[in-house]
Amino acid sequence: METNFSKRTWTFLWICLILLNVIIRIPITPHEIGHDSFLLHFIADSLSTYGHAKWWLNPLSMIGLYPHSEASALPFYLSGISQVLSLVMENAIWVALLLLGVFSSFTAYFMAGAIKDDKFFKFITAFIYSTAPGILVFTTWSASGRGMFLVLLPLFIYFLIKSRFSIKYGIMAVVFWILLLATHNLVYLTGPIILGFCIALVISKVQVKSSNLYGGIILLILFIIFLIQLSVKHFSLFNLILSFVRYTGVLIVFTIGGFVYLLFKKNRTFEENFLILALLFLTPIMSVVLYSKYFMIPFEALLASYGIMNLIKISRTKKHIILLIILFFSLSVGVAEFYQFGRTNADYENSATPFYAEDSIVNAALWTKSYTTEMMMTDEFLVSRRMLAYSGANLITENNIATLIQGNLWSFNISNRSPFSTLFYSEGPYQIENPKGMTDWLWYKLRDQGYYGSWKEVIFNRFDIYYYIRDERYATGFSITFDGKSGKLYDNGKNTIWYLKNI
């Protein structure tokens, strides 16, 4: 599609898109969001404090495939931003993720350019991708390896497609695949993409003559078979569609037109064959909604761009159709922001611990950082992760990565997993032989059985614990022990800190 936009107009559009990406990522919460974010906050802080990754016990620890390890790309990135800009980690997370959010528009632009060299097509893809709710959720003050993975994935696709022209692109594709491996285990889902690329290469060498109608029908039948018969797990089609709409946004409606167009298009290019084949091989894993609702966003953005381009192309009154598309774009941003607000709505504060860190827990953490040096514990994992993030306190927790970093982890033995096990690929080739003896297992026993339970002596004999942090809105087998007892040192209404030596 030819566009008559001047260079000044394109510059203006890009400035608007960048500003939009900044504005929609301005947080409405007082502190960072997401349960995983607080653990990554602590891990990244430990890098800045100790100067090295204390969870690296084995080369596989770098990619999170060794016991008590974490994929390392995001913690190193956050620690780097914190040190370079002299920011506390909470603020560094906001800046780092804002940069990733803006960068996602450029990575999507490059990916789209590898598929179709059209400025308008590339810009639409950049807009859809960078403002998709599934991208927003992990690039708005919520540290997660998933977010960094999704931002970098389009660049891997770009270099993979370009690798057929030059070895340097192939090398970059390998480099980015390794980077994705060190970011999140979603990297395994790149397998169908690579397979689609290889088969597209074979097809490009063979002259296949067929009717675009019959060829499209055959492809459609294959998609249906792959979805229904070859899916890796049972699924509800309604829930699948609902999840995809939720995380891709309103503009997903245009993917239907783009998909049908590519299916029945005559003389598809190599890049379009690659896109169709990658989608075909990804179809069986679409049933794993937990991951596919994020991983499919790049392809949905490309299909939606095709749909929008064709709608403009076939329209007789382009002025009206452009206005309609602008309306859809505005609606898409509005819906994405609705989910952003809904995810962090302050109404949750009255019923349970919200998704973000409240001032109460941050103040309690700062109090412990200022007035205590001895070991502490809590019986609520939400409190545990927030306390680790904001105080760095020496804390017995439910997470052995944090325990390892703080030097409190007991020794453990490992054994090999079978390569035929799914855990071999998702968790790594090694497993702990006696998980019941690990600190996290004992922590759960202590939480459930209470202060006077049989497991209390085991852990208290091993660790000299002085303080207990309690969330007053929750009751566990451990916390109810303190009802009516003395020894409370700190109380802000929601969180209390107890001196255990007085109990």
CB atoms within 10 A of CB 431: 15
Answer yes or no: are the C-beta atoms of 1 and 312 closer than 8 Å: yes
The Cα–Cα gap between 398 and 98 comes to 30
Segments forming the whole domain that contains residue 273: 7-344
Ranges of the chain whose pLDDT falls below 50: 344-351
What pLDDT is stored for residue 101 in this prediction?
Answer: 96
Does 337 share its domain with 364? Answer: no
Structure tokens at 464: 């000299």
- Give residue for tokens 């995983």: 36
pLDDT in tens, 423-454: 887 788 988 876 655 677 788 888 888 778 77
The Cα–Cα gap between 380 and 472 comes to 10
Does 292 share its domain with 249? Answer: yes
Does 78 share its domain with 214? Answer: yes
Q: Is residue 221 part of a domain?
A: yes
Does 328 share its domain with 395? Answer: no
Structure tokens at 125: 């893809």
What pLDDT is stored for residue 346 in this prediction?
Answer: 44
Does 479 share its domain with 388? Answer: yes
Q: Is residue 419 part of a domain?
A: yes
Answer yes or no: are the C-beta atoms of 10 and 119 closer than 8 Å: yes
What pLDDT is stored for residue 316 in this prediction?
Answer: 66
Considering only CA atoms, which of 286, 72, 94 is closest in space to residue 185?
72
In sequence order, the 6+-apart residues with CB closer than 8 A to the CB of 449 are 455, 456, 477, 478
Q: Is residue 354 part of a domain?
A: no
Does 317 share its domain with 402? Answer: no
Burial of 233 per CB tally in 10 Å (0-12, 13-18, 19+): exposed
Number of domains in the chain: 2
CB atoms within 10 A of CB 364: 26
Q: Is residue 124 part of a domain?
A: yes
Q: What is the DSSP letter of 411?
A: P
Domain boundary among 344, 379, 405: 344
Angle between helices 145-162 and 89-115 (to 10 degrees): 30
Torsion of CA 226, 231, 235, 240, to 10 degrees: -50
The Cα–Cα gap between 385 and 325 comes to 43
Q: Is residue 338 part of a domain?
A: yes
Q: Is residue 350 part of a domain?
A: no
What pLDDT is stored for residue 22 in this prediction?
Answer: 95
Q: Is residue 353 part of a domain?
A: no
Does 309 share its domain with 386? Answer: no
pLDDT in tens, 60-100: 999 999 988 999 999 999 999 999 999 999 999 999 999 99
What pLDDT is stored for residue 487 in this prediction?
Answer: 78
In sequence order, the 6+-apart residues with CB closer than 8 A to the CB of 116 are 122, 271, 272, 306
Angle between helices 212-228 and 254-264 (to 10 degrees): 120
